[in-house]
Structure 1
Amino acid sequence: MSIPASFKAAVVPEPHAQHNIVDRSLQPLQPTHVAIKITATAINPVDWKIRDYNVFIKEYPAVLGSDAAGEVVAVGSDVTTHQVGDRVFFQGIIGNYDASTFQQYCTMPAELVSQTPSSVTDDQAAGISLATVAVVTGFYDQTGHGITPPWAPNGSSAGKGQAIAIIGGSSSVGQYAIQLARLSGFERIITNASAAHHEFLKGLGAHVVLDRKTATAEEFKAASGDLPLRYVFDAISSPETQKFGVEIAEASQVAQKVIVVQNANEDAKNLGDSKSPKVEVKMILGLGSLPALRHLAEPMVQALGGENGWIAKGLFVPNRVRVIDGGIGAVEAALKLNKDGVSGEKVVFRPNA
């Protein structure tokens, strides 16, 4: 196997435009990178938001996409962790078009690429990395809650004697938040979701699943029992859920921060400022390639992947997937489906199909 001289890519030709399918090629492979044939790429809300709102794009035509799985087709001269033929999954790099995933091939720093265990398909693996990095940043980085991660000494008991509230448990981010909270040893994991998802989320590790539409902040607090509800994580981060997070934090009597994965809403921030003590609404940016997040992204890659990692051991379950057929040309249909809304599933298409 090798990198072809040219291949198909879905590109945004100009601001706000829909994707065109074109031929493109990669720059020469760097010594510390691997080249990957992308067999499945997942859709996340950030993908259509980048296109629709013209953010993170410095020049056109632009290649988007930052969540994928595939097969290693070439390795740089300094790479020892991967070899040609390995199945892998990874978070692409927004703004780096050679490391973006709406195309048939890409290149990535080897240390940010996980080995896909034999127990999952490429479709399943494609949707793991981006949402997991968001949770890892929100839980374990100092820009988030600053909890000791479960791969670190004593990290698997970091949540002992404590409760955590996760708003939006059935979302992609929410499902991974529940599982990481379980791996961190939280004794009470409380979330909310539609009734159809309750039993599934309990299987992932949630102790209490409240109704998405009717749950109140007081019910979240009551569900924690006699355990302190110190942490609130909003996996949805709409204006309404951010304000709800503030109310949960206030009801908890000990939580003073709500971590969100989108821009902090001004009304929610003002609501938090009005509380006594104040409740901070704080956005995290889950880009694992950032130098400031490598201390989490690199060990996360190792903990998740391989035949001895969390996924292979059944300790971490990928999102359920909905595959959109049509190869690289399915990108617009996949984006529309994600934008219109899916429940409990990750939308995936296969660029090389």
Structure 2
Amino acid sequence: MSLPTTFKAAVVPEPHGQHTIAERSLPSLDPSQVAIKVTATAVNPVDWKIRDYNVFLKEYPAVLGSDAAGEIVATGSDVKSHAVGDRVFFQGIIGNYAASTFQQYCVMPAELVSKTPANISDDQAAGVSLASIAVVTGFYDQTGHAIAPAPWAAGGNEAGKGKAIAIIGGSSSVGQYAIQFARLSGFERIITNASAAHHDFLKSLGAHVVLDRKSATPQEFVAAAAGLPLSYVYDAISIKETQKLGVEIAQASQVATAVVTVQFVDSDAAQLGQSKEHKVQVKQILGLGSSPALRHLSEPFAKAIGGEDGWIAKGLFVPNRVRLIPGGIGAVEEALKTNKDGVSGEKVVFRPNDA
């Protein structure tokens, strides 16, 4: 297999425009890059938000997508860690069209590319990286909770010893991964909320207590910690209501001092956090694994989660369940609409190279 001169891509031709299919080509590889045939790409809310709100896009036509799996078809001259034919998964680079994934081929820095183990499909692998980096940033980076050490480091499996963590929105893509990272970090009490249909599944991922998504109170979250300090609150949904719930959980805990959110900080939630003697900060993180400021996390994460000796291969990390949208590269608009309309407990995926 080799890298073709041109290939098909789904492009946004103008601000707020619907996708069209166009021919694209890739630049020459840098010494540390790999070229990847994109066999499956996941759709995340950030994708349709970028298009609808016209953010991160500096020129048109634009290419979206930053969560994918595929097969390496070429390597740069300095790359020793990967080879042509390797199955891989990765977080693409928003705003870097050559490294975006709503197209049949892309390029990536090799050190940010995980090897796909034999026990999962490319469809499953495609939805791992972006949401995981959102959790890794929110848990372990200084912009988030700064839990240390991270689970791939010595002693990282005991970082949560003697502590409880609350994860709002456990059945979401990010929420499922947050539960698993909390387990990998050794938290003794992992508390989340979800609709009843997801309770058993979330417990299988590592949640100790799953409360009702609509009715659970802050006091119930604290009580579920069973006497352990509820030290951290992570909001995997990050809308106004969940940010306010997170603040109220932290206030009720009298221990947690921050709520980490993966979207913009809601001003009412931020104000609520300063309204009582126990102050709570609402902190937005930006999980862009290619950022130089996050390479200290994204590079060791890529190694720890992938490969035949990594967490996925060992059964320590389970990818999201998949909702496949058929139709090849032309399925992009249906996939975006499906994600925007709302999915529960699944990752929307399409295959750019399918007919």
The normalised TM-score by structure 1 is 1.00
Q: What's the counterpart of residue 321 of structure 1?
A: 322
Q: What's the counterpart of residue 342 of structure 2?
A: 341
Query: Which runs of structure 2 are paired with 1:123-272 in the superposition (5 Å)?
Result: 123-148=123-148, 149-272=150-273
Classify the secondary structure of the residue corresponding to 2:69: strand
- In the alignment, residue 120 of structure 1 is paired with which amino acid? I
Are 1:6 and 2:36 counterparts?
no
- Measure the CA separation in 1 of the matches of 2:266 and 2:63: 29
- Measure the CA separation in 1 of the matches of 2:46 and 2:62: 14
Classify the secondary structure of the residue corresponding to 2:220: helix
- Measure the CA separation in 2 of the matches of 1:348 and 1:33: 25
- Measure the CA separation in 1 of the matches of 2:102 and 2:274: 41
- In the alignment, residue 320 of structure 2 is paired with which amino acid? N
- Measure the CA separation in 2 of the matches of 1:150 and 1:26: 36
- Measure the CA separation in 1 of the matches of 2:72 and 2:310: 19
- In the alignment, residue 105 of structure 1 is paired with which amino acid? Y
- Measure the CA separation in 2 of the matches of 1:340 and 1:273: 34
Query: Which runs of structure 2 are paired with 1:76-91 in the superposition (5 Å)?
Result: 76-91=76-91
Classify the secondary structure of the residue corresponding to 1:62: coil
Deviations 1:98-148 (A, max 9, x none): 000000000000000000000000000000000000000000001000011
- Measure the CA separation in 2 of the matches of 1:75 and 1:36: 9
Classify the secondary structure of the residue corresponding to 1:232: strand
Q: How far is 1:154 from its partner? A: 1.0
- In the alignment, residue 70 of structure 2 is paired with which amino acid? G
Q: Percent identical across equivalent pairs?
A: 77
Root-mean-square deviation over aligned CA pairs: 0.4
Q: How far is 1:275 from its partner? A: 2.1
- Measure the CA separation in 1 of the matches of 2:260 and 2:2: 43
Q: How far is 1:242 from its partner? A: 0.3
Classify the secondary structure of the residue corresponding to 2:192: strand
Q: How far is 1:276 from its partner? A: 1.4
Classify the secondary structure of the residue corresponding to 1:274: coil
Q: What's the counterpart of residue 69 of structure 2?
A: 69
Deviations 1:157-186 (A, max 9, x none): 000000000000000000000000000000
- Measure the CA separation in 1 of the matches of 2:333 and 2:86: 29
Classify the secondary structure of the residue corresponding to 2:102: coil
Q: How far is 1:277 from its partner? A: 1.9
- Measure the CA separation in 1 of the matches of 2:232 and 2:184: 15
Classify the secondary structure of the residue corresponding to 1:262: coil
Q: What's the counterpart of residue 313 of structure 2?
A: 312
- Measure the CA separation in 2 of the matches of 1:199 and 1:252: 26
- Measure the CA separation in 1 of the matches of 2:326 and 2:154: 44
- In the alignment, residue 306 of structure 2 is paired with which amino acid? G
Classify the secondary structure of the residue corresponding to 2:84: coil
- Measure the CA separation in 2 of the matches of 1:133 and 1:279: 24
- In the alignment, residue 245 of structure 2 is paired with which amino acid? F
- In the alignment, residue 9 of structure 2 is paired with which amino acid? A
Q: Which shifted more, 144-153 or 106-115?
A: 144-153
Q: How far is 1:68 from its partner? A: 0.1
Deviations 1:8-62 (A, max 9, x none): 0000000001101000100011110000000000000000000000000011110
Q: What's the counterpart of residue 114 of structure 2?
A: 114
**Structure 2 spans left out of the alignment, 5+ residues:** none
Deviations 1:212-267 (A, max 9, x none): 00000000000001100010000000010000000000011101100000000011
Q: What's the counterpart of residue 44 of structure 1?
A: 44
- Measure the CA separation in 2 of the matches of 1:322 and 1:347: 5
Q: What's the counterpart of residue 15 of structure 2?
A: 15
Are 1:53 and 2:53 counterparts?
yes
Deviations 1:53-86 (A, max 9, x none): 0000011110000000000000000000000000
- Measure the CA separation in 2 of the matches of 1:239 and 1:226: 28
Q: Which shifted more, 183-192 or 148-157?
A: 148-157
- In the alignment, residue 17 of structure 1 is paired with which amino acid? G
- Measure the CA separation in 1 of the matches of 2:191 and 2:330: 40
- In the alignment, residue 230 of structure 1 is paired with which amino acid? S
Q: How far is 1:278 from its partner? A: 1.1
Moved >3 Å (runs of 4+)? none
- Measure the CA separation in 1 of the matches of 2:139 and 2:164: 13
- In the alignment, residue 164 of structure 1 is paired with which amino acid? I
- Measure the CA separation in 2 of the matches of 1:15 and 1:124: 31
Classify the secondary structure of the residue corresponding to 2:274: helix
- Measure the CA separation in 2 of the matches of 1:168 and 1:255: 18
